Chains A and B, each alone.
Chain A
Amino acid sequence: MADRDERNHSNDSQREPDAKAEAGEKTAKGFSRRQFIKGSGLAVGAGVLANEGLLKAAGIESTPVVSGPGAVPVQLKINGRLHSLRLEPRVTLLDALRNHLDLTGAKKVCDRATCGACTVIMDGRPVYACTVLAIEAQGHAIETIEGIAPAHKLHPVSQSFVDNDAQQCGFCTSGFVMAVKSYLDHHPNPTYDEAKASLNGNLCRCGTYMGIRKAVLEAATKEKGGRL
């Protein structure tokens, strides 16, 4: 209890759901947002990709490669489909999705890894798309909310959000749904308290947390009956 406020409000990396934190610690080949923040601060203006120190911090040993500053070819594997784009190296995964691929489910809100409205799943782990560079997302499997259910159908997590009125304005909802989906993928049987403690990486302004808590548990129960 004593550390609750600190955990939620003073350190953005600690806002992450457990799964995000784990990804940050363990993903060696990936380039997690957590390591990225540690190494370089914010994405805007970063014209050089392969900062050696950064890569070492990320546990990646490789020869530095300079990309940009102009647009470079980028290939992103999103929802199982490969997209070829030309993007400046400074373009974030979020802006690539929203501005270049019209995948607007992930929302731009804080744009600095605090609120979680841009949450997508990369290699099975949730990341803040506003703080992953598109060029760094290459070679990773990216799942956005557009890819979790076929057209005209709802993923069980989405359905639980609808049924439990876990949304009002809905602007945080996509990010929450992705965070919850990823959480349940890794923790299929959470208790109420576990779920509560693990989903602090997303913020809602309308105050829909009561519904979201119920939705998480309901989705967990439903998913046991077979995934979509």
Chain B
Amino acid sequence: MANIAWPPASKRGLIGKSISRIDGPEKASGRAKYTYDQNPVNLLYAKMLTSPYAHAKITALDTSEAERMPGVRAVYVFNGVGKEVNWEGHEILAVAADSEELAEDAVRRVRVEFQQLPYLVDDADLALATKDGRTRQLGAETSGDPAAGFQQAEVTSEGNYAIPVITHCCLESHGSVAQWAGDKLNVWISTQNVSGAAGEYAQSPDLNVPASNVNVDCQVMGGGFGSKFGIDTWGLAAAALAKKSGRPVKLMLDRKPELLMAGSRPSLRGKIRVGAKRDGTIVAWDSDSWGTGGMGVVGIHGLLPYIFRDIPNRGSRYTAVRTNTGPARAWRAPNHPQACFLTMAALDDMAAKLGMDPLDFFLKNLSLAGERAALYQEELQKAAELMEWKAKWHPRGDKTPGPIKRGVGLSIHTWGGLGHDGYCRTTIHPDGSVEVATGTQDLGTGTRTVINIVAAETLGLPLDGIRVEIGDNKYPPDGASGGSTTVGGVSSSTRVSATNALNQLLAKVAPALGTTPDKLEAVAEKIQVIGDPAKAISWKQACARLGTTPIVAMGQRNMSLISSGVGGAQMAEVSVDVETGVVHMEKMVAVQDCGLIIDIKTATSQVYGACIMGTCYALHEEKIMDQQTGTCLNPNMEFYKLSGLDDVGDIVVHMMTDPAIESRGVIGLGEPPVISPGAAIANAVANAIGVRVPELPMTPERVLDALGKGEMA
């Protein structure tokens, strides 16, 4: 009988190799059909009216003129007269019409009146927010004796640091296409939770549809990053408009509402004090921090200091600030990038104050970094080698003549990444074809490819010997894709399912080979006696023995195949033009562990992508809110900036893959490498220009401002 344990390195034909994603050709040829691309016959287009104000009460709403327009088919009201809207972009209504243009016209014909109410959209001024009754301390932690710790400290470093609210900015906006067939609802929806969506539709009294009548389809999706777990109010609206009109409805958010309300990452601002001995030993930490995630009470409580949880004397307090801004959603590695930036910047400033190379300072204090201290040490040393850190590092302030200053910075990070629970079904047909099905989704991480690799490896077949079916809730349920939980979930459920199917096949063919199933293995499109290729029959011959009935076997996530908890180290090299304030990321080194790697190609891409996404939030991304008007100043892609192809330098990825790490099984990778770039790049900028730019993104304005203040000091 085949065993579910991962094969040893010597027996891996596919696992861990560099394999191109199997849906690559569909995507690179434009043939892949995303939710946004679904055009069922008689399609209606829906557009939304959203609040222009940060806070207001709706006092009048008249849709009659809009509804009388020829070609307008249905109206759905999210928030009607008497309801309050609490941020710019808050949903009011949606109109479905024969064309996009007509739906836009109809939205303009809706008469809506508001009574404007007081608002706060900017969280920078904590005193103002407190006076306004908008703050709540989420908790305070104390360990050891912070006051005594600072007395003991020979050097104290103090600073203010901030990282603003940013958005997910998925290129495929949120939305769905809904179509009824009698009492059955079919939806295409750009979602991170294919198997969970039907239950959400079933909860709606507007739809009155049991989950068993809802089919959810998401074969490919244009990004999620944590913002697409739910079907959202507008998902329900599409289904309700389709029901009302009797025609399919497409409701995809336009870019402005997408950026205003479809997901943001909470800000984090804080005042941090660090105390250390002159030899560099950290002895005390104190932080007062706050942030906003919109009207919810959310934030990073419990994460400061980040990683260095064993600093002997520490105090930290976190206050959530409610603002009239679009709601926060999980953003790739929720809370970690913010906590990481504040912590690593404060520690880097302490190293500078001590006159120490931060690499030496971090290495010296890794005993305060918990269970992964040894891993961080190894990773930092590897990163230093790949960055040529010792050659590149200099004390703060590049003394090279001319306006271009270079510097290096570092950071470390951690994440869990335990595979989520889920099921997989493997079917082996008598003709030898195989399908592997699970109700998961591929956000672009390579999930489909991972399933294919694991199934093919398990059954001894080539990749194209397996058909992978995902992205549909008719398949066995899988968990939502968030928190780097998918690869562990699907790789283990696939491994178990394929092994179970194989064992049924082995039982069928063992007599023909004159042996017992436990003596057989599936290798190279054959079933053979273990280690004896001479005693074999081909895969096709073996399957032919099934007669007319396929083998079907289920598998569930298995904890013996997966694990949780990774560490990573990153180093950044930047150049800064001190005349213009422009920062350029010249090089990043990312050293990362994630247990057993299924596909080194897509895994490496995850890390490349994370370094680039991290560069975006380090240098460009900010949801800029204007307290005067209560509105967002940049809900579009020309002023909500992302790095372009020429904005990022070289990236070197090193995956930790020794046998001890691989023996932990599969661990998720999506989140961890996006945590450190902000801190590493910010520390590199400080190293280059000699002063700390205390707030991300490090725009030219902020860099020049920091330089100006530094010169005055």
Contacts of A99 in B (CB 8 A): 39, 45, 99-100
B170 at the A interface (CB under 8 A): yes
Categorize the interface residue count of chain A.
35 or more
Q: How far is the CA of A146 from the CA of B171 in the complex (A)?
A: 20
A205 at the B interface (CB under 8 A): yes
Contacts of A44 in B (CB 8 A): 101, 104
A162 contacts B642, C-beta separation under 8 Å: no
Which residue in chain B gives the minimum CB-CB distance to A158? B28
B644 contacts A170, C-beta separation under 8 Å: no
A75 at the B interface (CB under 8 A): no
A209 contacts B648, C-beta separation under 8 Å: yes
A88 contacts B444, C-beta separation under 8 Å: no
Q: How far is the CA of A144 from the CA of B24 in the complex (A)?
A: 18
B658 at the A interface (CB under 8 A): no
Q: How many residues of B contact A (CB 8 A)?
A: 72
A171 contacts B223, C-beta separation under 8 Å: yes
Q: Top 5 closest A-B pairs, CB basis?
A: A105-B30, A207-B612, A171-B222, A169-B444, A170-B27
* Other A-B pairs, 11, CB within 8 Å; known A170-B220, A200-B647, A207-B611: A2-B579, A8-B641, A9-B620, A12-B638, A44-B101, A44-B104, A162-B28, A172-B171, A173-B28, A177-B29, A205-B225
Closest chain-A Cβ to B435's Cβ sits at a distance in Å of 21
- Given the known A-B contacts A95-B100, A102-B39, A107-B36, are A165 and B31 also in contact in the complex, defined by CB atoms under 8 Å? no
Contacts of B221 in A (CB 8 A): 169
Q: How far is the CA of A44 from the CA of B101 in the complex (A)?
A: 8
A66 at the B interface (CB under 8 A): no
Ordered by A's residue number, 11 sampled pairs between the chains whose C-beta atoms are within 8 Å are A4-B646, A44-B101, A95-B100, A146-B31, A162-B28, A165-B604, A169-B223, A171-B172, A173-B30, A202-B644, A210-B605
Per-position 1/0 for B577-614, Cβ under 8 A of A: 10110111000000000000000011011001111110
Contacts of B62 in A (CB 8 A): none
Contacts of A173 in B (CB 8 A): 27-28, 30
Contacts of A203 in B (CB 8 A): 171, 637, 642, 644
Contacts of B252 in A (CB 8 A): 108
| Total cross-chain contacts (CB, 8 A) | 212
A205 contacts B644, C-beta separation under 8 Å: no
Q: How far is the CA of A105 from the CA of B651 in the complex (A)?
A: 30
Q: How far is the CA of A165 from the CA of B602 in the complex (A)?
A: 7
B28 contacts A213, C-beta separation under 8 Å: no
B104 contacts A168, C-beta separation under 8 Å: no
Contacts of B27 in A (CB 8 A): 167, 170, 173
Per-position 1/0 for B241-256, Cβ under 8 A of A: 0000000000010110
B29 contacts A110, C-beta separation under 8 Å: no
- Given the known A-B contacts A2-B577, A8-B644, A8-B647, are A165 and B20 also in contact in the complex, defined by CB atoms under 8 Å? yes
A111 contacts B24, C-beta separation under 8 Å: no
B582 contacts A2, C-beta separation under 8 Å: yes
**One of A2, A91, A98, A154 near B37 (C-beta < 8 A):** A98
A149 at the B interface (CB under 8 A): yes
